[in-house]
Amino acid sequence: MAGIDTAFYLVHALGSGGDLWKEETEAAENFAKAAEHARVRRIVYLGGLAAKGSASPHLATRREVGRILRAHSVGTIEFRASIIIGSGSVSFELIRALVERLPVMVTPKWVTRQAQPIAIEDVIAYLLASIEVSTDTSEEIEIGGADRASYRDLMREYARQRGLRRAMLKVPVLTPWLSGLWLALVTPLKARIGRQLLEGMRSDSVVTSGRARELFPAIKPLGYREAIQRALRNEEREFAETHWSDAMSSGVPAKSWHGVRFGTRRVDSRAVDLDTSPAQAFAPVARIGGTSGWYYANALWRLRGLFDLMVGGIGLRRGRSHPERLRPGDSVDFWRVEAVEPNRLLRLHAEMRLPGRAWLQFEISGDGPVVLRQTATFDPIGLFGLLYWYSLYPIHAMMFRGMLSAIARSTGSGGRESR
């Protein structure tokens, strides 16, 4: 911490398999002593919000961490946040997984507890503003969004914005232990983390102090409806900006039977190395669909088009307007060109009938030799969407792998598959 003015403490041991209290308090003590030794001016800590006297063991450790940091000579600002709405928030991921996967939810009493959900943008705004805020003492500051809502309210709003219909059946008793096991079955959360979260949900987490308004009058937190809307919209932007040629290097092997997960989306990505120029590699990609077909298993593509017609879709009858040139907005059979960069990128958005949304993207990197990457992405809607992805994944993987190999051969340079 040498030369550091403000140190942010965002460490959390909730996912650890060890002694939560011991790990949290030792980490906080080490951090505070190091900051003190380096003469850091301020520590900013993000903890959890719960009613006094009703905190769960998990939230109790969060409070103890704040106490330890404040007990040292470095001035400390401790933010206590309610449910954070945004990708990466465990509470938000819990809501997402439950709503996406369960058409009917058995809900215990904890879903009615009141919280004050706060958008991730507002949390970041508070953290950044804390660098310059003027205060002579350590502070405990409760932060939340513009309105109160229960977990049930959040799940209903998420479902509404995703276009899902969900039924919630109340039950009088469902212990945190049983609830944790249930969550482990239907969500990505481990049972241990689920139980810790549920313990904290047994009490309200609402703001009872106006100190945040006094110290940060310029920050006007969003309501939970807009927070969810922005979280979903930000995921769209982040996904569009993600380059799978970078992200896949640390992902699962290409032979995985289910692809990788990005938010709600499922992604299957593979690449080939081509000893050719970007223009030569892109030429067969630009001719895809229409009379050129899909390079591999065209009979299956025609069968999919026929099925789409039978369920009221557009099928393959549109073809394409030009055999070699593509522009954003052009139709390609039952796809629509969403983005195109000559010799570098083609992204197609599916317009066939699906229980979700789908994209097919081709990226070319390098100037010769080049890497041609093909990425198929599916954003499932509800449980049926997930069943669609997992049940058809072997067929789709076979078709997309064959397509990429055929495109590589059509360039005349062969090609070998890479990560």
CATH of domain 6-236: 3.40.50.720
Per-residue model confidence as pLDDT tens digits over 271-304: 999 999 999 999 999 999 998 899 999 999 999 9
pLDDT confidence of residue 193: 59
- Only one residue has tokens 């906080």, namely 28
Quick check: 116 and 88 in contact, CB under 8 A?
no
- Residues 195, 178: Cα–Cα separation, whole Å: 8
Per-residue model confidence as pLDDT tens digits over 326-364: 999 899 999 999 999 999 999 999 999 898 889 999 999
pLDDT confidence of residue 255: 42
Local confidence band at 122 (pLDDT 50, 70, 90 cut-offs): very high
- Residues 274, 60: Cα–Cα separation, whole Å: 57
Pick the closest to residue 152 from 200, 117, 185, 196 (CA basis): 117
The answer to whether residue 185 scores a pLDDT higher than 60 is no
The answer to whether residue 218 scores a pLDDT higher than 90 is yes
Overall average pLDDT of the 364-376 stretch: 90
pLDDT confidence of residue 363: 94
Of 94-98, 327-331, 339-343, 387-391, which gets the smallest average pLDDT? 94-98
Overall average pLDDT of the 374-383 stretch: 87
- Residues 77, 137: Cα–Cα separation, whole Å: 9
Integer angstrom CA distances of residue 134 from 10, 46, 204, 209: 22, 18, 30, 18
Greater pLDDT, 253 or 274: 274
Per-residue model confidence as pLDDT tens digits over 151-176: 889 989 999 998 888 888 777 655 55
Query: Exposed (0-12), middle (13-18) or buried (19+): which is 310, by Cβ within 10 Å?
Result: exposed
Quick check: 353 and 315 in contact, CB under 8 A?
no
Local confidence band at 250 (pLDDT 50, 70, 90 cut-offs): very low
Task: Return left, alpha or beta for 119; rule: phi > 0 is left, psi -120 to 50 is alpha, else beta.
Answer: beta
DSSP label at 5?
S
- Only one residue has tokens 């470095």, namely 74
Integer angstrom CA distances of residue 402 from 26, 256, 397: 54, 16, 8
Q: Per the structure block, which two tokens stand in for 150? A: 């229960």
Instruction: Report DSSP letters for 346-388, one per residue.
Output: EEEEE-S--SEEEEEEEEEESSSSEEEEEEEEEEE-HHHHHHH
Residues pairing with 347 in the sheet: 339, 361
pLDDT confidence of residue 105: 75
Which amino acid, one-letter code, is at 258? Answer: H
pLDDT confidence of residue 412: 79
Per-residue model confidence as pLDDT tens digits over 222-240: 999 999 999 888 877 666 5
Helix (H, G, I), strand (E, B) or coil at 337: strand
DSSP label at 249?
G
Residue 237 CB contacts under 8 Å (≥ 6 apart), including other chains: none
Tell me which range, 56-60, 223-227, 306-310, 316-320, is most confidently predicted by mean pLDDT.
Answer: 223-227
Integer angstrom CA distances of residue 232 from 99, 133, 237, 243, 286: 14, 31, 9, 19, 31
The mean predicted confidence, pLDDT, of the chain is 83
- Residues 406, 1: Cα–Cα separation, whole Å: 54
Helix (H, G, I), strand (E, B) or coil at 140: strand
Q: How far is CA 357 from the centre of its chain?
A: 16
Asked, colleague to colleague, whether 6-236 and 244-418 share their fold, the answer is: no
pLDDT confidence of residue 251: 40
Per-residue model confidence as pLDDT tens digits over 49-83: 876 666 677 788 888 999 999 999 999 999 999 88
Tell me which range, 93-102, 177-186, 286-295, is most confidently predicted by mean pLDDT.
Answer: 286-295
Helices (H) and strands (E) in the chain, counts: 13, 18
Quick check: 366 and 276 in contact, CB under 8 A?
no
Of 3-12, 156-165, 307-316, 393-402, which gets the smallest average pLDDT? 307-316
H or E element, residue 46: strand 42-48
Of 181-190, 286-295, 347-356, 394-403, which gets the smallest average pLDDT? 181-190
- Residues 142, 367: Cα–Cα separation, whole Å: 53
pLDDT confidence of residue 62: 86
Q: Which fold has domain 244-418?
A: Alpha-D-Glucose-1,6-Bisphosphate; Chain A, domain 4 (3.30.530)
Overall average pLDDT of the 135-156 stretch: 90
- Residues 54, 136: Cα–Cα separation, whole Å: 30
364 backbone dihedrals φ, ψ, rounded to 5°: -120, 125
Domain boundaries, the chain: 6-236, 244-418
Integer angstrom CA distances of residue 348 from 221, 259, 297, 330, 345: 37, 19, 19, 10, 10
